[in-house]
Amino acid sequence: MAKGLPKRSENYSEWYNEIVKRADLAENSAVRGCMVIKPYGFAIWEKMQRALDDMFKATGHVNAYFPLFVPKSFLEKEEEHAEGFAKECAVVTHYRLKANPDGKGLMVDPDAKLEEELIIRPTSEAIIWNTYKNWIQSWRDLPLLINQWANVVRWEMRTRLFLRTAEFLWQEGHTAHATEQEAVEEAERMLGVYAEFAENWMALPVVQGVKSPNERFAGALETYCIEAMMQDGKALQAGTSHFLGQNFAKSFDVKFVNKENQLEYAWATSWGVSTRLMGALIMAHSDDNGLVLPPKLAPIQVVIIPIHKTEEDLAKITEKVEPIISELKAAGISVKFDDDDKQRSGWKFAEYELKGVPVRLAMGMRDLENGTIEIARRDTLTKESVPVDGVADTVKGLLEEMQDAIYQKALAFREENTFVVDTWDEFKAQIEKGGFVMAHWDGTAETEEKIKEETKATIRCIPLVGIEEAGKCVYTGAESPRRVVFAKAY
C-alpha cells in the first residue's frame, strides 16, 4: 500500500481525494469550487479527448466553437430548460471595475451595467439554436452535426475534484435533423459511441438506458445514458444523449423548407461527456497503492528504470535498452526511460505505481549479465524476469491483455454487486449495502420521489437491453412491465 494513502475499505472518499492529489491529477484552486487540472491529469484527459474526437468525426460530426456568454433572454426562451438550470447559473451584470473612492482596491463601476445580463454557459443549447436559425433554411442544410469542446459553469455548492466542480471541461454535441426518426437515431447512435468509448478505452462496463421523466435533461423528450458502478457500489452517470424533439427549434424559430416544400421545425439532439470521466476512471479501477490506468489512456504506458551504481553501469544498461525503447515507440507505445539520478530506484517504483503506469521494466547489472529484464504489471502487482530479447513483443501483448483484464475485473465486480429484489424490505436492506438494485417500479413520479426520500436511491436508468418481465412495484405493489436500475449515486 502506498505510504499514507487511506484504504478504500476504511474511507473511500478520502482515498479518492488523496489519489487525485498524490498522483498529481488535480488540486483545488484559489477560486472556490474550481480545480486546477495538473499536467499528468490533463494528459489523461487529452487521450480521452483525442479518442472521442476521432469517434465523433468518424460518425460525420465536425467541431465548432460558440460564445461563453448566453444572453439571459435566450435561456428564458425554453421554459423547462431555463427552470432546470436557473439555480446553477453564474450571471454577469457589469463590464468594468474602477478604483474605490478611498483609493483602496477596486469596485464594480455602477455606470457599467449591462443592458442585458449574460449567463456564463451552463450548457449551450440556447446560444447554439439561436445561431442555427441563420444556418438552416432548407432540408438540404440538414442534418447539421456539430460538436464543441468547451468549459461550462454550474454553480455547485458541494464540490469534489473531477466529479462535481463549478467549472468543468466537456464536449457537447448539438445536431439538427429533418425528421423525428433521424434525431432519435442520432441520440441513440451517440449513446453507442459513449458506451464503446467507456468499455474499449476506459475498460469501464456500462449499462445503457433511458432516464425516467424525473431524471431527464431539462427540455428533453428523452434522455439516454450510460451508468457505471464504482468500487463503493455507487452509480456514476458517465454520459448522456438527449432527444430534444422540436422544443428548441420552436423556441428559437428554426424552420426549414422540407422536400414537400412545406415549412417545418427542425428536430434536435444534444449529447455530452465531461471531465467527470476522470473521476469514473479513478474510482472504477484504482487500488490502495494508487491509480490503475487502462493502458489505452495511460500517458506513460511503459516506464524503464535502470538500477546502477556507477555512470559506467548506466551507460551499459542504456545501450541495452535503447533498441527496446525504439521498438516500443515504433509500435505507438509511450515509453519513459527514467535515468534521473535525483531519486533512488525504490522511490521511482513506488511513484510510478502510485501514478498507475501499466508496465514497469527494470534492469540492473545482474540482469544485464543474464540477458534478462524484470517486468512488472500495475493491475496485478506481479513481476517476473523475462529474456531481454523479444521483450518489446512481450510488452505489446501484455498491454492488450491488461486492457482486457481491467475491464473483466470491473465487469465481474458489477455482476457480483447487481441484485434482483422483489420486496420493499429487501430493497431497503440492499440499497444500504450498495450496488445496483434491479426492482419493479410502477412508472409514476410520485413513487420515484418517495423511494428517493426514504432511501436516497434514484432510478439510474431503464435499461435498453433487458427482459420484459411483468411484476409488482417494489414500493406500491402496482403493476410494472419491467425492472429498472436503482442505486445511490454520485
The alpha carbon dihedral of 35, 38, 42, 44 has a sign of: negative
Contact 407, 391 (CB under 8 A): no
Residue 122 maps to a domain? yes
**Residue 3: pLDDT over 80:** no
Give the CATH number of the domain where residue 16 resides.
3.30.930.10
Pair 398, 425 in one domain: no
Give the tens place of pLDDT for each residue, 236-276: 999 999 999 999 999 999 999 999 999 999 999 999 999 99
Q: Nine-digit cell at 266?
A: 427542425
DSSP 68: S
> Do 195 and 65 belong to one domain?
yes
Alpha helices in 88-179, H assignment, sequence order: 125-135
pLDDT of residue 141: 98
Is the whole-model pTM more than 0.85? yes
Return the pLDDT at 436.
98
Check whether residue 101 and residue 165 sit in a common domain.
Answer: yes
Q: What is the CATH number of the domain that holds 480?
A: 3.30.110.30
Per residue in 29-76, pLDDT (tens digit) is 999 999 999 999 999 999 999 999 999 999 999 999 999 999 999 999
Residue 246 sits in the same domain as residue 309: no
Looking at the domain assignment, is residue 55 inside a domain? yes
d(CA 188, CA 388): 48
On whether the CB atoms of residues 242 and 269 are closer than 8 A, the answer is: yes
Q: Coil, strand or helix: which one is 167?
A: strand
Task: Tell me whether residue 455 is in a domain.
Answer: yes
Is 124 a residue whose pLDDT tops 80? yes
What are the grid coordinates assigned to 275, written together?
Answer: 471531465
Residue that is last in its domain, among 369, 402, 435:
402
Q: Is there a domain that residue 82 lies in?
A: yes
Looking at the structure of the chain, the number of domains it has is 3
CA distances from 81 to 78, 158, 224 (A): 5, 22, 17
Q: Are residues 179 and 202 in the same domain?
A: yes
pLDDT at 4 over 90: no
**Other CB atoms within 10 A of residue 470 CB:** 9
Whether 312 and 276 map to the same domain: the answer is no
Local confidence band at 413 (pLDDT 50, 70, 90 cut-offs) = very high
Q: What is the mean pLDDT of the chain?
A: 96
* Cell representation of residue 109: 463601476
pLDDT for the residue 103 = 87
The verdict on 267 and 390 lying in the same domain is: no
Query: In this model, does residue 2 exceed pLDDT 70?
Result: no
Q: What is the per-residue pLDDT across 313-358, written as a single tens digit (0 to 9) for each?
A: 999 999 999 999 999 999 999 999 999 999 999 999 999 999 999 9
**Each residue's pLDDT tens digit, 449-488:** 999 999 999 999 999 997 789 999 999 999 999 999 999 9
Nearest-5° angle of CA 452, CA 455, CA 457? 55
**CATH number of domain containing 321:** 3.40.50.800
Residue 407 belongs to a domain? no
**153 φ, ψ (degrees, to nearest 5):** -125, 125
Of 372, 402, 432, the one marking the end of a domain is 402
> Domain limits at 310?
295-402
